[in-house]
Amino acid sequence: MISLFTSLLVVAAANITLTADNIPEVVSALTLEEKVRLIVGYSDGMAKAAGDVGINNKTLMGAAGATSPIERLGIPSIILADGPAGLRIRPEREGENRTFYCTGFPIGTLLSSSWNTEIIREVGEAMGNEVLEYGVDILLAPGVNLHRNPLCGRNFEYYSEDPVLAGESAAAFIAGVQSQGVGTSMKHFALNNQEVNRLSNNAIVDEQVCRELYLRQFEIAVRKAQPWTIMTSYNFINGVHSAENKWLLTDVLRGEWGFEGAVMTDWGGGYRGAAIVSAGNDMIQPGGVDWYNSLIEAVNDGTLPVEDLDKCVTRILQLIVKTPSFRKYAHSDSPDLKAHAQISRLAAAEGIILLKHNGALPLVAGSDIAVFGTASYDFIAGGTGSGNVNKPYVVNLREGLAGAGFLLNEKVDDFYAGYMKTEKARCEKINRNKNGKWYLDDERALEVIPEDVIADAASSAQSAIVTIGRIAGEGKDRSVEYNYLLSEAEKGLIKSVSDAFHRVGKKITVLLNVCGVVDVTAWEPYADDIVLCWLPGQEGGNAVADILSGKINPSGRLPMTFPMKYEDDPTYANFPRILADKPFNYSFYRSLGDGIVRHDIRNIDYTAYEEGLFMGYRYYVSRNVPVQYPFGYGLSYTTFSWDKMRMEKVEGGWNVSVCVKNTGEVAGKDVVEIYLEAPRSAADRPLRELKGFGKTRLLQPGESTVIKVFIPASECKAALSADGRMKRGWSLVPAHDASKDVDVMIGS
Ligand code: GLC
């Protein structure tokens, strides 16, 4: 009788088709093998082992991964693809005579440099539309780990040294992408703050510091934007691997923050399948037959309770029913790339930072410009690794300036045309022979100092620009000597151009087309103006020309500190020092393939967060350490005044308002940053902590506007007495940057 009953059940179950309303029934109908297939990603190896032919390179389109289909119950496979600066899929497909390019947007650091959550959301919407129209379901972005140290190879993908700026940027991005009906995967949860030995490095950090800094931006974004998924990091936290960390994934993420989505590992992250599932990490990506077999075995031998497996399967099905693949959305494969290119250009310009302004800019319309520096002709649009985008083109500075109507000094232009051609051939030869070492930086043109060309240009050109380029990427951290510091040739070029042009009363601009913080102190006196454009995406040259020409007034602000020298950084002693000039792939530095996790070499196997809360500007401002440029700093072609500062107690916090007036000659935007300032007596607390910010719209000369920022009391716990009032000596101060001098106090 039972066998008949069971077989009736199976037949009935066989007729179930997944909907948003019958997930518990579908979970009951799944066999153990089917449940495990849903947990384990659907890499080609997995597909072959499962006898499926559905997923292949063409379907995956060069995406990062997928989930397994279970056709019997109407469960489709969903597609997961990178990345933070644009969708990453293969631009060519066999049998297709068209391309599938995606827009190369500005890197995360440039988006956060805009301090403009509206434009970050617009970038998210455009990127999300490409995810939708190219048939992908989840965008593996944003990357939100803090810039703990300037040399982390993936800082370009990340937003800031401050969790409030990072969290607000992430929330805006996620809301933008998910407004298109596709999902995101906020990453890497958590403390993935270095690439060296990333697969097994153990981050040793005080729990309070972890919560106030390294988890905070994730919390802000979860509470504000509910990313459909979160990706755990490769590293350990206080001895427990992120993907196996029940405290992190179940107690904090879901229990305290109310996260409703699914969690996936990073690609190849984690070690023990049963521990991963029981911790609340739902998917193991990109999957593989070994993971599949180990999970089946773990359930059968009791190591993995079926209840834990069912919880993960339930969350995966709850995710799947939200996706375009489940909705059978008929994607067009033709997103509006032209329109998105314009959004990329405007977002890049919005984040570009004017660091020094001594009269070189804006350039005189139609003037003759001498453009030096190899990066001017081979602009760096983005970083390498999974954060790269297969974009249709990159506009370099030369093209941007020509497009903006400037004359390119003939002698200089001719020199670089020939030189770059020779260098291109030399570099291509080297780059063709990387032997699969994806993580090695491409060889780039060597910097030279064409003295005679410089001398000639000083007499014929009106102004000069020197571009310094720096790239970085996943899988390695940056070297001080070979990446953070400028080379002798680069410093020599800046000095030579500066001397030649200053000799005839002309000015020069240095443009930083860089992946992260570089040394400025060594050469800053030679530059009249300094512009920081980070890695600005495919429209980079046009966006920079919009700023240099004055068509757009720079309004970016630094999302991190530029120290006087690298050794001033508070994490200097607790970060790996890369001495090689061609960093090899440190990701696997100590994973010797024997499965043994070692935690005995400082800054390689383990990294001690000894600086505690005093990281970034929290350190420099509290300890009175002078910096080259402070967090939150940035100049404008116009000037602003602030007054009528008000702090109004409201439900749950305060409204801080500031009246901002454009007191200069040209239209511009300003940023009001609100810091919680501690009394000197509170030695265990940073002197300044960003608690909110607001950016004006474009203000015409003489125009004013009021910026109002709500500061939650929950963000200011250290400053509150038992009755919820702010303790004596504590205050909320609006300022132009994190440095000590406050512009105007509240109430004045
Ligand atoms: C990589 C990265 C992660 C990326 C994933 C898929 O190793 O760490 O950011 O999303 O794998 O490419």
Q: What is the pLDDT of residues 632-655, one digit of tens each?
A: 999 999 999 999 889 999 999 999
**Residue 267 CA to ligand 1 centre (angstroms):** 6
CA of 185, closest atom in ligand 1:
10
Q: Which of 199, 439, 474 to mutate to test the pocket of ligand 1 (most atoms within 8 A of CB)?
A: 474
The finding on whether 63 has its CB within 6 A of some atom of ligand 1 is no
The finding on whether 140 has its CB within 6 A of some atom of ligand 1 is yes
Which structure tokens are listed for 309?
Answer: 């497996």
**Intervals of CATH 3.40.50.1700 along the chain:** 337-563
Peptide bond into 362 cis (omega under 30): yes
pLDDT of residue 482: 87
Q: pLDDT digits over 546-571, tens only?
A: 999 999 999 999 999 999 999 999 99
> In degrees rounded to 5, what are phi and psi of residue 280?
105, 15
pLDDT of residue 199: 87
Please check whether the domain covering 337-563 is classified as CATH 3.20.20.140: no
Q: pLDDT digits over 37-90, tens only?
A: 999 988 777 777 766 655 555 566 889 999 999 999 999 999 999 999 999 999
**Residue 266 CA to ligand 1 centre (angstroms):** 6
> In degrees rounded to 5, what are phi and psi of residue 618?
-55, -30
- 202-204 and 627-629 beta bridge pairing: unpaired
Question: With left for phi above 0 and alpha for psi between -120 and 50, is residue 302 left, alpha or beta?
Answer: left
CA of 192, closest atom in ligand 1:
8
Residues facing residue 660 across a β-bridge:
642, 705
**Residue 82 CA to ligand 1 centre (angstroms):** 7
pTM reported for the whole predicted model: 0.96
Peptide bond into 147 cis (omega under 30): no
The finding on whether 157 has its CB within 6 A of some atom of ligand 1 is no
**Residue 587 CA to ligand 1 centre (angstroms):** 12
pLDDT of residue 582: 47
> Does 266 participate in catalysis according to the annotation?
yes
Catalytic residue among 52, 82, 137, 266, which? 266
**Residue 387 CA to ligand 1 centre (angstroms):** 8
Nearest CA to ligand 1 atom 4: 386
The finding on whether 187 has its CB within 6 A of some atom of ligand 1 is yes
Q: pLDDT digits over 702-717, tens only?
A: 999 999 999 999 999 9
Q: pLDDT digits over 277-330, tens only?
A: 999 999 999 888 999 999 999 999 999 999 999 999 999 999 999 999 999 999
> In degrees rounded to 5, what are phi and psi of residue 661?
-125, 135
**Residue 439 CA to ligand 1 centre (angstroms):** 13
3-class secondary-structure state, position 613: coil
Q: How far apart are CA 666 and CA 402, in angstroms?
A: 24
Nearest CA to ligand 1 atom 11: 267
The stretches of 148-283 forming alpha helices (DSSP H) are 163-178, 207-209, 216-225, 246, 273-279
CA of 140, closest atom in ligand 1:
10
**Intervals of CATH 2.60.40.10 along the chain:** 638-735
pLDDT band for position 747 (cuts 50, 70, 90): very low
Nearest CA to ligand 1 atom 8: 266
Q: How far apart are CA 447 and CA 731, in angstroms?
A: 49
Strand order in the sheet with 671-677: 688-695, 671-677, 731-735
> In degrees rounded to 5, what are phi and psi of residue 658?
-140, 135
Q: pLDDT digits over 571-628, tens only?
A: 999 999 876 654 455 555 555 556 667 778 899 889 999 999 999 999 999 999 999 9
Q: pLDDT digits over 421-472, tens only?
A: 999 999 999 888 877 776 677 899 999 999 999 999 999 999 999 999 999 9
Other residues' Cβ atoms within 10 Å of the Cβ of residue 588: 16
**Residue 664 CA to ligand 1 centre (angstroms):** 46
- 229-232 and 183-189 beta bridge pairing: parallel
The distance from CA 728 to its chain's CA centroid, rounded to whole angstroms, is 38
Written in H, E and C, the secondary structure of 703-747 is CEEEEEEEEEHHHHHHHECCCCCECCCCEEEEECCCCCCCCCCCC
167: pLDDT strictly greater than 80: yes
- 240-241 and 229-232 beta bridge pairing: unpaired
The finding on whether 60 has its CB within 6 A of some atom of ligand 1 is no
First-last CA distance in the chain: 86
pLDDT of residue 589: 52
Measured between alpha carbons, how far is residue 573 from residues 213, 238, 330, 480 in Å? 19, 19, 53, 13
Q: How far apart are CA 613 and CA 214, in angstroms?
A: 10
- 627-629 and 562-563 beta bridge pairing: antiparallel
CA of 188, closest atom in ligand 1:
9
Nearest CA to ligand 1 atom 9: 386
The finding on whether 423 has its CB within 6 A of some atom of ligand 1 is no
The finding on whether 64 has its CB within 6 A of some atom of ligand 1 is yes
3-class secondary-structure state, position 368: strand
Averaged pLDDT, 104-119: 98
Other residues' Cβ atoms within 10 Å of the Cβ of residue 382: 30
Strand order in the sheet with 407-408: 353-356, 529-532, 508-513, 463-469, 368-372, 407-408
106: pLDDT strictly greater than 60: yes
Q: How far apart are CA 15 and CA 26, in angstroms?
A: 10
Rg for the chain, CA atoms, rounded: 27
Which structure tokens are listed for 178?
Answer: 């998910």
Which structure tokens are listed for 47?
Answer: 């597909």
> In degrees rounded to 5, what are phi and psi of residue 232?
-75, 165
Nearest CA to ligand 1 atom 5: 267
The finding on whether 35 has its CB within 6 A of some atom of ligand 1 is no
CA of 88, closest atom in ligand 1:
12
**Residue 229 CA to ligand 1 centre (angstroms):** 14
Which amino acid, residue 154? R
The finding on whether 267 has its CB within 6 A of some atom of ligand 1 is yes
What percentage of the chain's residues is helix, strand, coil (to nearest 5)? Answer: 35, 15, 50
Averaged pLDDT, 712-727: 91
DSSP codes joined into one string, 496-515: HHHHHHHHTT--EEEEEE-S
Residue 184: closest CA among 142, 224, 215, 221:
142
Which amino acid, residue 64? A
Q: Which of 186, 231, 267 to mutate to test the pocket of ligand 1 (most atoms within 8 A of CB)?
A: 267
Q: Which of 266, 439, 588 to mutate to test the pocket of ligand 1 (most atoms within 8 A of CB)?
A: 266
Which structure tokens are listed for 642?
Answer: 């602030």
The finding on whether 350 has its CB within 6 A of some atom of ligand 1 is no
Which amino acid, residue 474? E
Q: Which of 80, 187, 386, 591 to mutate to test the pocket of ligand 1 (most atoms within 8 A of CB)?
A: 386
pLDDT of residue 644: 87
The finding on whether 569 has its CB within 6 A of some atom of ligand 1 is no
Task: Mention the CATH class of domain 638-735.
Answer: mainly beta
The finding on whether 185 has its CB within 6 A of some atom of ligand 1 is no
**Residue 215 CA to ligand 1 centre (angstroms):** 19
Which amino acid, residue 519? D
State the average pLDDT for the chain. 93
Q: Which of 42, 43, 82, 265 to mutate to test the pocket of ligand 1 (most atoms within 8 A of CB)?
A: 82
Angle of CA points 535, 561, 346, to nearest 5°: 35
**Residue 386 CA to ligand 1 centre (angstroms):** 6
The finding on whether 574 has its CB within 6 A of some atom of ligand 1 is no
Q: How far apart are CA 26 and CA 75, in angstroms?
A: 10
Q: Which of 60, 107, 140 to mutate to test the pocket of ligand 1 (most atoms within 8 A of CB)?
A: 140
